[in-house]
Amino acid sequence: MMNTKATAVAAKSNMMEQLYNKGVIVHPLLTHDPQRMQGQVGIISNIVHENDEVYVEFPYNKTGIYSKDAVLTLVPKGMLLAHIHDKLEELEPKEVRILLDIYKLQRNGQPAAIEEALRWAIGYDTIGRDALVTVNDYIDRGLSEDIVQHQAIGR
């Protein structure tokens, strides 16, 4: 039987593997970005957890190395749908529509649809708070598309 620490390390490693090839967007307000890719969409090609590094590949073979807090990804679609359900009374109709559109794009799963969902989410502050999470939070909270989780998105 594995000890608790080894189990946690294995779970975190598995989580990072699930993030490979996942669509992400570089935080648009990032102050130091040698690649100048703030607000741009790419995919995760590697994560070095110990060094707090996320390698993001962009079009035209451009790669940037970022902190896990500087790269945003979509919350799992099941979690987004649960959030819409839980907060339906509090959300504005326009917010509900946009969040549902993001959910539909996530269900589509095609890279172009994920890119569009990321752009919608980053385009509105209130939507971004509900639909986006840093890669660091994604890993630390153990989020996954494989498991439908009914938990609050709150920060």
Helix 111-123 vs helix 93-108: angle between axes, to the nearest 10 degrees?
A: 160
Question: Distance between CA atoms of 145 and 148, rounded to whole angstroms?
Answer: 7
Residue 150 has what pLDDT? 43
Residue 115 has what pLDDT? 97
Q: What pLDDT digit, counting tens, does each position of 104-155 carry? A: 999 999 999 999 999 999 999 899 999 999 999 999 988 887 654 444 444 3
Q: Are the C-beta atoms of 33 and 130 separated by less than 8 Å?
A: no
Q: What pLDDT digit, counting tens, does each position of 27-75 carry? A: 999 999 989 999 999 999 999 989 999 999 999 889 999 999 999 999 9
Confidence bin at 81 (pLDDT 50/70/90): very high
Residue 76 has what pLDDT? 96
Residue 6 has what pLDDT? 62
Residue 94 has what pLDDT? 96
Region at 72 (left for phi over 0; alpha for psi -120 to 50; beta for the rest): beta
Residue 149 has what pLDDT? 43
Confidence bin at 16 (pLDDT 50/70/90): confident
Q: Where do the structural domains in the chain lie, given as residue ranges?
A: 4-71, 73-140
CATH number of 4-71: 2.30.30
Residue 152 has what pLDDT? 43
Q: What pLDDT digit, counting tens, does each position of 19-29 carry? A: 999 999 999 99
Check residue 51 and report its DSSP letter. Answer: G
